Amino acid sequence: MFSNILIYFVVIPVVMLALLGLCRDVKQIRAVAVTGSLALLGLSIYLLVDYLGLRQTDSVSPMLYTDSWTWFAPLHINLAVGVDGISIAMLILSSVILLTGSFASWKIDQPKEFFLWLVLLSTGVFGFFISVDLFTMFMFYEVALIPMYLLIGVWGSGRKNYSAMKLTLMLMGGSAFLMLGLIGIYYHSSPEGSPLTWNLLEIAKNDAIPHSWQQFLFPMTFVGFGVLGAMFPFHTWSPDGHASAPTAVSMLHAGVLMKLGGYGCFRVAIYLMPYAAHELSYIFLVLTGISVVYGAFCACVKTDLKYINAYSSVSHCGLVLFAILMLNTTAMTGAIMQMLSHGLMTALFFALIGMIYGRTHTREITQMGGMMQILPYLSVCYVIAGMASLGLPGLSGFVAEMTIFVGSFKAGMADYLAGAGSLRLVFTLVACCSIVITAVYILRVVGKLLFGPVYDDHHRTLTDATWWERLSTATLIVCVAAIGFFPNFFSDLIKTTFSPEIFRVLGI
Amino acid sequence: MDVTIPILILSIPMFMFVFLGLLGMKMTHKLAGVLGCLGMGTVLLLSYYTAYVYFFSGAPEFVNAAGERLQYLVFDQTWLQFTDKLTIKIGFLLDPISAMMLVVISTISFMVHLYSMGYMRDHHGVYEHGFQRFYAFLSLFSFSMLGLVVAPNIFQMYIFWELVGASSYLLIGFYYIKPSAVSASKKAFIVTRFADLGFLIGILVLSYYTGTFNFTELTSVPVEGIAGVTQIDLGTAEGVRGIFANSAAPMFMGASVLTWALVLIFMGGMGKSAMLPLHIWLPDAMEGPTPVSALIHAATMVVAGVYLVARLFPLYLMEESALVIITVVGAITAFYAAVVACTQIDIKRVLAFSTISQIAFMMVSLGVARPEIHEGLGYMASMFHLFTHAMFKALLFLGAGALIHAIGSNDYTAMHGLRKYMPWTHITFLIGCLAIAGIIPFSGFFSKDEILSSCMGYDWVAYIWMSLVAGLTAFYMFRLYYLIFWWKEHKIPEGHHAPHDQPWTMTLPLVFLAAVSCVAGFIPFGNLVSWNGHPYDFMEHFDWSVATVSLIVALLGIGLATVMYRKENSLPEKFRNAMPALWTWAYHRFYWDELYMFITHRIIFGCVCRPLAWFDRHIIDGTMDSFAAITNKMSDVIKPLQSGQIQMYVWYYLVGALALGGITVLCLL
Amino acid sequence: MELTAIYYLLPALFMFCCGVYGFITRKNMIAMLISLELMLNAVDINFVVFNRFLYPGAFEGMFFTLFAIAIAAAETALAIAIIINIFRAVRNIDVRSLNEMKF
């Protein structure tokens, strides 16, 4: 079992949990958190290199490093693992954000409990990304959700009880749909007569889910994951939840957990039920298309920094789901790149907001101004994050958005020219408009918060970033710039996922 | 050609940006400035060398046996692959217009780098706060602009297009403590972003149909035998039109899809080049430091729109209607901006409107250019005017900067009669004014005359209209000139010393640019730049009657300005009182800003954003909350059943048991 | 007159109903306990009666009754202990006063 590299993505967090339990003071806790997340980062980078090497020789199988260990034989539940380019991208993203999140919560109260829950959360996240068994996937998904409640409820700010409850309940509601969908898939996973399976690679190979069932199960799974991906109209947990959550939790939640939604939509809903994806995508296309502009418009008038960023996440994550539904490789590549890019830059945003909030004790942009003079380092980082968010070339947002637009436009035009309606085309153009609206709300915040005269003279005494804050933000900025500068590396990595097998399944 | 020099041209400014941005605060102001100047100076030399080699070496990849100039792709590196066909590449395309733009950009940029060494410090020689940041941003801008002009494909152009927008944003907002600068920078970015939306959609349409981003595949044919060399060819553009015409849906809302694509791409150009109605950001952009206005908002970035249309010119030739739209937009903008410029009192605003008007000249010139009219003279004239305008407008802006630096105000009302105090500035400014007014032998005369000639060849209405604008140009420029340097004696405010000329770092660029403006008209531009690379002697198309008329018009404008503004008198007052409505409207720039304010604040924010946010919080979120509330209510309703009174439970049990028993009995019966 | 089962069952039913009535209406916990005993005893009678009349050869009903009596005794002891403790805590053995632990 331990000969498979992937299992270590779960083992390391579990070991971290044990070590954290033994820790006596805050220094040890920090040491464990940083060492552990560095180990995870190292492991994921090693995996990336190794994976690229292996792909040279095997470009056919949909996943590599596949393995399966029986867990509960009567129900065919296995711990089945395997990764492709998308999972590896997500693993790297998660470990980067765990690392930076640990730095961002350097001075948290009750560090032991906090890190215990945080690491438990990331155990779920890593487990989710390496699993290819629907049951264990769902289990890890739930493992990632529950700690969120405590992390927000205990370490949060503002209306934390309300937000924690709301977030957990809405996501649990999504899980209910999801579970229904997954069980439905399980019972149709194999052709009549052969044993059932939870393994999604086998399910995809069997392709045995009847079309009538797909029509029912696709919306279930898509909505189930879509709630986590902040799809309109199930997005309202996001602003409240993010506003109340402590910094590192916002980072992990917006940076990684929301990606579980997009990842799940792709991996489960679309991959396993391509027929329904083709048939029903228009419903979700409308919803996600609305998300994109709706989130952006809402962000234009909010005054709380975290609310603004949460709505911008709604818009950006909407773009992810939107692109996935375009059902062509370019748009899907763009979607995954957007997940990466949004994960990094929103983590950066939340880290910076947390750092500013920790100093000024307010998040209202009307109560602040001229931060550039007081906190130059943080402000410059904020401008960079903003530029990434509004899609400046050279940073990650641009390449992701452009890939999505090119892909979506292709899908839209193909539909339009084939006389299959202009819905895709129209919504692609609508989504393109978001680049303008994004510029509006980002520049509004930058203008009010960072530029202009100092609003509150009490703020003049604030000190700029400490070394751990610098490390955290600089790491994220380097990652954002790396994607922006060398997009082809990431796009190629993601494209290795689209093996002939997937093309056959998706019919693209 | 070796790839080292082109790579250096792009990478030196990029490196300087990163270097000064990260380490600038660790070094002294002066060192940062000197490093910036050195970097840009190297780029200047390399660009000159590249342009020289391109135009004059006669190598087979640059010019063919017939003397026609070719397009040479120096390098082309894959950056991001979308699909099998659509790939963004980062490359370096050398052709007449990109070589010319290299010269323009590096010259102006270097002059501005040098000039800023003097400008960005106060009278005591203390450098301004953020001096290093200023040089870092200038380097970023130079990098972006150079990358833009050498782009071999439209997506690289779009990438650098966005980057110049961002660096323009950063530089306009350089004085970020000033709220007006912040809002101006925001406005500039958002307006151009809106235009870029059109540009992006245009690119998407064009690339979807043609399956390529490369300019050369859209407009040129490869030259046999030499890799990477292509030649402009209308046949390829015809082929592109054929692709559109043969597609399943060749028309969209009454116009051909190709027209739509080209007009949308032009919309991007309208944003950057401040054409009506997307011009509103440019006057506000004058909030930036004056060298920035000279570099970005007069000479280089704002002509990107013209450059874009010129790049795709063979395609535009395929769609007459797109060219007509360009002509009409350009003509209206030119007139509008000229009228507004006559009333402004902020000297930088006057220059900004004059820039808008002059760019519109270039646009019109492209719009009226046809191969059959004087061998496509309009195209050449447009590029020629771009070149000369960059020089003399940068000169005027830098002169204005010197004045502002000396006086400390942007208003001409604070200046007047400065000719004695600042002789260098006076002479160079006068040269700039003469050049822009189109007086022989200054450079503006030649380029503007060619524009008018090609207008004449196209349509007499266009000719008369543009001549009128040319007259207005001469008038408002000399109005400005007289109000700054003449009008009345300069009053030195109490406690101030007399204004004086500037240090050599500022004078040298002025003198250099003035010298260029004096002689640039005699460059045989037709030999260097033409729409299809075919050289011709433009003197063959030089129409003396047009030249005479335009000279007379310019002199009339100057004469009128002399009468009205040379000495203090009440004539301007009388004019203003004679047409108060026109004057007020022009002074308020025909209320375009107010209109946009209304649209953005009242309609978009007030009628879209706020209701949506309310809807989100109260309807969507309210629904979700009400689910929770309903669950709570239900729980409250059934909670009293659990009273804790055991005898009640027994009652419930008894009644339930009896009822069940009764039902069972009934069923059995 | 032959003593059939009904002559035993009717009094047992009467006893049971008294027990139920008492359990529902009496507020004193001791009285409720007595009512509970009444119900138990009624059930015990039924066991014995059914054993005697339906399966005369078997003794399970008898034994079960003996068990039930023993357990009832233990249960009563436990209940009285609880009641005494409640009395110590609230100086009262009225069942209505004991709703602190609801929900």
Can you tell me the distance from the alpha carbon of A273 to that of B490, in angstroms, rounded to the nearest whole number? 82
Taking Cα atoms as reference points, which of A215, A229, A94 lies closest to residue A174?
A: A229
Average model confidence (pLDDT) across chain B: 87
Q: How close B334 gets to chain A, by Cα (Å)?
A: 27
* pLDDT value for A406: 92
Per-residue model confidence as pLDDT tens digits over B163-190: 999 999 999 989 888 889 998 999 999 9
Is A209 within 8 Å of A188 (Cβ atoms)?
yes
Residue B203 has pLDDT above 80, yes or no: yes
Q: State how far residue B669 is from chain C, nearest Cα, in angstroms.
A: 23
Which chains, if any, share at least 3 CB pairs under 8 A with chain B? A, C
Average of per-residue pLDDT values in chain A: 88
DSSP, collapsed to helix, strand or coil, labels residue A404 as helix
Contact B644 C95 (CB under 8 A): no
* 8 Å CB contact between A88 and A44: yes
Instruction: Identify the top-confidence range among A345-359, A487-501, B478-492.
Output: A345-359
Band (B246; pLDDT cuts 50, 70, 90): confident
Find which of B86, B155, B193, B619 to mutate to test the A interface (most A CBs within 10 Å of its CB).
Answer: B193
From the CB coordinates, do chains B and A have 3 or more pairs under 8 Å?
yes
Q: What pLDDT is attached to residue A281?
A: 86
pLDDT reading at B409 higher than 60 = yes
Of the candidate ranges A385-394, B86-95, B400-409, the one whose mean pLDDT is the lowest: B400-409
Interchain pair C24, B654: CB under 8 A: yes
- The nearest CA of chain B is from the CA of C103 a distance in Å of 6
What is the rounded CA–CA span in Å between residue B151 and residue A136? 50
Mean pLDDT along residues B191-214: 91
- Are 3 or more Cβ–Cβ pairs between C and B shorter than 8 Å? yes
How many contacts, defined by CB atoms under 8 Å, are there between A and B?
132
Query: pLDDT by residue (tens digit) across A185-225?
Result: 998 888 888 888 888 888 888 888 888 888 899 999 999 99
Report, as an integer, the average pLDDT of B510-520: 89
Confidence band, pLDDT 50/70/90 cuts, at residue B495 = low
* A191 Cα distance to chain centroid: 34
The pLDDT value recorded for residue B104 is: 92
- Chain C residue closest in CA terms to B639: C103
User: pTM (2 decimals)?
Assistant: 0.89
Q: Percent of chain A scored above 70 by pLDDT?
A: 98
Q: What are phi and psi of B63, to 5 degrees?
A: -145, 140
In angstroms, the separation between the Cα of residue C10 and the nearest Cα of chain B is: 18
Please, what is the angle between helix B423-437 and helix B460-485, to 10°? 170
Instruction: Please give, rounded to a whole number of angstroms, the shortest distance from the CA of B87 to a CA of chain A.
Output: 10
Q: Is the pLDDT of residue C50 over 70?
A: yes
Check contact A-C (3+ Cβ pairs < 8 Å): no
To the nearest whole number, what is the mean pLDDT of chain C?
88
C98: chain B residues, CB-CB within 8 Å = 644, 646
Please check whether residue B163 is in contact with residue A393, taking contact to mean a CB–CB distance below 8 angstroms: yes
Looking at residue A374, what is its pLDDT?
Answer: 87
Give dist(CA B355, CA B362) in Å, integer: 11
| Residue/partner pairs of C93-99 with CB below 8 Å, 24 or more apart | C93/C28, C93/C29, C93/C30, C94/C27, C94/C28, C94/C29, C95/B645, C95/B646, C95/B647, C95/C27, C95/C28, C95/C29, C95/C32, C96/B645, C96/C27, C98/B644, C98/B646, C99/B643, C99/B644, C99/B645
Express each pLDDT in B86-107 by its tens digit: 888 999 998 889 999 999 999 9
pLDDT band at A508 (very low <50, low <70, confident <90, very high): low
For residues A114 and B226, the model is more confident at: A114
**Hey, which bits of C1-103 come out as E strands?**
none
**Closest Cβ opposite residue C99 in set B645, B650, B651:** B645
User: What is the pLDDT at residue B411?
Assistant: 77
Q: Is the pLDDT of residue C98 over 80?
A: no
Tell me the percentage of chain B whose pLDDT exceeds 90.
Answer: 32
**Which spans in B520-599 are helix H?**
525-528, 544-565, 571-578, 580-587, 592-597
| Whole-number Å distance between alpha carbons of A155 and A227 | 24
Cα–Cα distance for residue pair C91/B218, rounded to 1 Å: 99
Q: Is the predicted pLDDT of residue C102 greater than 60, yes or no?
A: no
Indicate the range of A53-67, A135-149, B126-140 predicted with least confidence. A53-67
Closest CA to A394 of B172, B90, B77, B75: B90
Name the residue of chain B whose CA is nearest to A298's CA: B613
Complex ipTM above 0.90? yes
What residues in chain B have their Cβ under 8 A from chain C's Cβ atoms? 639, 642-647, 650-651, 654
On the question of pLDDT at B117 being above 80, the answer is yes
Best probe of the A interface among B15, B22, B80, by most A CBs < 10 A, is B80
The tens digit of pLDDT for each residue in A479-505 reads 999 999 999 888 888 887 776 666 666
Q: Per-residue pLDDT for C103 more than 60? A: no
Lowest mean pLDDT among A268-282, A313-327, B7-21: A268-282
Delineate the domains of chain C, giving CATH numbers in brackets: 6-97 (1.10.287.3510)
- Number of Cβ within 10 Å of residue B419's Cβ equals 18
Q: Lowest mean pLDDT: which of A306-320, A344-358, A473-487, B492-506? A: B492-506
- pLDDT attached to residue A499: 66
Whether the predicted pLDDT of C68 surpasses 80: yes
pLDDT digits (tens, 9 = 90+) for A67-77: 888 888 888 88
Q: What is the pLDDT of residue A505?
A: 64
Closest CA to B11 of B35, B42, B50: B42
Q: What's the pLDDT band for A270 if we cut at 50, 70, 90?
A: confident
Contact C99 B647 (CB under 8 A): no
Is the pLDDT confidence value at B148 over 90? yes
When CB atoms are compared, the residue of B639, B650, B651 closest to C103 is B639
Subunits in contact with chain C (3 or more CB pairs closer than 8 Å): B
Q: Is the pLDDT of residue B217 over 90?
A: no
Of A261, A243, A394, the C-alpha closest to A316 is A261
* pLDDT mean over B422-437: 89
Helix (H) or strand (E) holding B73: strand B71-81
CA gap B81, B173 in Å, rounded: 35
CB A95, CB A78: distance < 8 Å: no
Residue of chain A whose alpha carbon sits nearest to that of B204: A406
Cβ–Cβ below 8 Å for B644 and C100:
yes
Residue in A167, A170, A235, A236 to test binding to B, most B beta-carbons within 10 Å: A236
* Residue A127 pLDDT grade (very low, low, confident, very high; cuts 50, 70, 90): very high
pLDDT of residue B192: 92
Indicate yes or no: CB of C99 within 8 angstroms of CB of B642.
no
Nearest-Cα distance to chain C for B643, in Å, is 6
Q: Do B83 and A410 touch (CB under 8 A)?
A: yes
| Residue A210 burial (CB count, 10 A) | 11
Residue in B642, B643, B650 closest to C24 by CB: B650
Name the percent of chain B lying above pLDDT 70: 99
C23 CB neighbours in chain B (<8 A) are: 647, 650
